[in-house]
Structure 1
Amino acid sequence: MSEDPRAAPLRTAVIVGSTRETRAGDGIGRWFAALAAGRDDHEVDLLDLAAWEFPARRTDTPDAAVTAFTRRLARADGFVVVTPEYNRSFPAALKQAVDYGFDEWQAKPVAFVSYGYRWAGRYAVEQLRSVFTELHAVTLRDGLHLDLRDNAPDGADSGDHADGTAFPGDAAAEDRHRVAHRMLDRLSWWGLTLREGRAARPYVG
């Protein structure tokens, strides 16, 4: 008998999209990955793009790093993209990484954790929605948006604690946890539903 696709936790890839030397994304990404990993319905795979040595130019034959990265994408049932907003858009490194996959994204849900100043990364998310729509992915309506004016992480200390006490750790932490868990509830619903669908019949791409 084949394994019931509803039995296993959702394999959730958390992708940290910033590769800048000084960035808030690594701390935010670790904080969110730890929060998701503390649940019974998500099996978390943290993919920090700063740790990947991708080629400087795209070649017809993928190298070992690209192959390893796309295999991790293929294994995932759903995704959380952690993105900053740079000049009302998202980082070039994130676009490069997204473009390495195609079939790996199809018929899978994508949620967003964004951060920035004033608009908290919402412009980056809106542009990412159109990219993932082109890749036949399903984007969640509501995400987690962090305004760094209110929640400025302190360099390398941001998000170092698995319980989230370093970031976010101010008076609004309870509300952010609530929003994050609500988003993960919906990601789990979409991820399990689409996983069952892919198991029942191949997606028509």
Structure 2
Amino acid sequence: MSRAANAERTARQRWAMPGSSHDKFVALLQFALPVGIGVLAAFLVMAPLFMGGDVSFVLDKNKVAVAQERMKLEAAQYRGQDAKGQAFTLDAASAVQRSSAEPVVQLATLSAGLAMRDGPAKITAPSGLYDMRSEQVKIDGPIDFTAADGYRLGTTGATVDLKTRKMLSDGAVQGSTPMGTFSANRLSADLEGRVVRLEGNARLRIVPKNANRR
């Protein structure tokens, strides 16, 4: 064997010996690679919260922890049951909870699905405030309620109690039912019983053919 080949082999042997630079480099990789993988995994998990991307959640109000700081969700859904054990879901395009001290969530483009005795019903509105403790939704804009049997109630500015399936206006209202149109200083409605009560300057315009049909 030539002197050059022998010298090269000797150099490789020294490079592979315990305590050599190669041995130290391998030991460093054994520590650095797991740490790097852990950091990368943590970044991938936390990145959506800090990069402004859309995050979707399905939340059970009885299980979800109240946010310690301001929290904004996209495509949020809340689930619960009324006093009779009937299920309801509350969906929103976005939901904002300002702090843990305020259990009220600001909802945009909301839709509530209610399981009722006569079949499912639905409430839609452009925006509202949902109180997770009282299970009430306060809506300032137009409200549209539709039931499985074709009953429909439209009005503006009211609070819907998801537990009792009752609606109470915050002030003067105007709207419609299958019988006709109405206006009053105040409204209260039993959504499951299909009963609407008007108080103060109540005006009701009945469409005869619709009233007879019902």
Tell me which of the two structures has the higher relative contact order, counting C-alpha pairs closer than 8 angstroms and 6 or more residues apart.
1
More helix by share: 1
**Structure 1 length normalisation: TM-score?**
0.23
Task: With the length of structure 2 as denominator, give the TM-score of the two structures.
Answer: 0.23
Greater fraction strand: 2
